[in-house]
Amino acid sequence: DKHPKWVEILDAKTKDKLCFLDKVEPNATIGEIKSMFHKSHPQWYPARQSIRLDPKGKSLKDEDVLQHLPVGTTATFYFRDLGAQISWVTVFLTEYTGPLVIYLMFYFRVPFIYASKYDFTTSKHWVVHLACMCHSFHYVKRLLETLFVHRFSHGTMPLRNIFKNCTYYWGFAAWMAYYINHPLYTPPIYGEQQIRLALIIFLFCQIGNFSIHIALRNLRPPGSKTRKIPYPTKNPFTWIFLLVSCPNYTYELGSWLGFTLMTQCLPVAFFTLVGFVQMTVWAKGKHRSYLKEFRDYPPLRSPILPFIL
C-alpha cells in the first residue's frame, strides 16, 4: 500500500484528539512522526513521547515503519507523556563525578568535617592512601567508559532519576569516605596480607569489568541496534561469559568486595550489599530478556553468580 496515510494521535488517558497529520508517507518511521507531533506540541520533545497502538500497550520504537504496523488508511496512535527527560550520558557523568570529588574532600580533610585540629592533615596509615587511589581510579574509569566505551540503547531517562541516583552515589561516597579518612580509623586486622589480597582482587575485577565493557561495545557496530548474544573472546577475562550473562556486574561486585576487605569498613560492606542486590535485579532482568529473545541461548549461564544466582 503505497498511498500516503492519515495519522491521528490521541491522548492515552483522556482519548482527546491531540494531533492530526495528513499525507504521511507509508514508509515514515515513528521517529519521524514524533518529530511532526513535536512541531504541533513544542513542549513534548520526541524523547518524552511514548507512542503506542493501544492506550495500555507497549511503546512503539522510533525505527518502526508506518506501513509495517497493523493500521488502516488512518493510523490511530495513543500518546503518553514520559515526563521531562535527561540523557543517560549526563546522568552518568554527574553521578560519577560526585563520588570522585566528595571522597577527595574527605581524604584531604577539608575543614568542617573532622575536628579542626585535623584540617588538611593526612592519615598515617598507608592503606588509606591506597584506598583513595583505588576509589578515585574506579570512578575515573567509569567516567572515561561513559565518554568513550559505552553505547547506550536508550538516549534518555526520566529527569527525577538524576536526583535519586545522585543521592545514592554521593550519599554513600560521603558515608564511606568519612570513616576511611577519619583520624580514628583502624586499619585491617590482618595488616599487609589482607591489604595485598584485597588489592589483587580489586585490580583483577577492575580489569575484568573493563574487558566486559569493551567486549559488549564490540558486539554492536556503531549506529546499529541489532542485539546479539555476547560470547567469550580471546581475552581471558571474558571467558566468564561461559557461566554468566552479566559478568560486568559480577566483576563490579568483586571490586567492591576487594575494597571492603581493603578498608575493613562496615559502611563499605553495606554499600557493596546494596549494590549487589540492585545488580542482581538488573542481571535477572537482562538474563530473562536474553532467554526470551534468543532460542539458542547457552543454558549453562546464570544471571550474575556462576551456578548460584
Partner 1 sequence: MASSEEDGTVEEKENNNKKRTKSALVTAWLTFYNIAMTAGWLVLAITMMRFYIQRGTHKGLYRSIARTLKFFQTFALVEVGHCAIGIVKTSVIVNGVQVCSRIFMVWFVTNSIRQIQNEESVILFLVVWTVMEISRYSYYTFSLLHHLPYFIKWARYNFFIVLYPLGVAGELLTIYAALPFVRRSGMYSMRLPNKYNVSFDYYYCLIIVMLSYIPLFPQLYLHMLRQRRRVLHGEVIVEKDE
Among 115, 184, 277, 308, binds partner 1 (CB under 8 A): 184
- Segments of the chain assigned E as strands: 5-11, 17-24, 49-52, 74-81, 85-87, 156-158
Task: Give the CA angle between residues 21, 25, 27 to the nearest 5°.
Answer: 130
Residue 266 touches partner 1, criterion: CB under 8 A: yes
Closer to partner 1 at the Cβ: 238 or 264? Answer: 264
Residue 118 touches partner 1, criterion: CB under 8 A: no
Residue 156 touches partner 1, criterion: CB under 8 A: no
Closer to partner 1 at the Cβ: 4 or 158? Answer: 158
Helix axes 126-148, 88-107, angle to 10 degrees: 170
To the nearest whole angstrom, how small is the minimum distance from the Cβ of residue 265 to partner 1? 4
Whole-angstrom distance, CA of residue 279 vs CA of residue 257: 14
CB 92 within 8 A of CB 146: yes
Among 179, 204, 239, 297, binds partner 1 (CB under 8 A): 179
Burial class (CB in 10 A: 0-12, 13-18, 19+), 15: exposed
To the nearest whole angstrom, how small is the minimum distance from the Cβ of residue 197 to partner 1? 18
SS3 call for 187 = coil
Whole-angstrom distance, CA of residue 267 vs CA of residue 279: 18
Stretch of 3-11, 34-42, 175-183, 235-243 lying at the interface with partner 1 (CB under 8 A): 175-183
Residue 189 touches partner 1, criterion: CB under 8 A: yes
CB 75 within 8 A of CB 66: yes
Residue 265 touches partner 1, criterion: CB under 8 A: yes
Residue 123 touches partner 1, criterion: CB under 8 A: no
User: Which string of x and - marks every residue 10-29 that binds partner 1 (by CB under 8 A)?
Assistant: ---x----------------
To the nearest whole angstrom, how small is the minimum distance from the Cβ of residue 184 to partner 1? 4
To the nearest whole angstrom, how small is the minimum distance from the Cβ of residue 162 to partner 1? 17
Name the β-bridge partners of 77: 9
Residue 260 touches partner 1, criterion: CB under 8 A: no
# residues near partner 1 by CB under 8 A: 13
Among 267, 275, 284, 286, binds partner 1 (CB under 8 A): 267
Q: First-to-last CA distance in the chain?
A: 50
φ, ψ for residue 182 (rounded to 5)? -70, 145
Which residues form the interface with partner 1 (CB under 8 A)?
13, 179-180, 182, 184-186, 189, 263-267
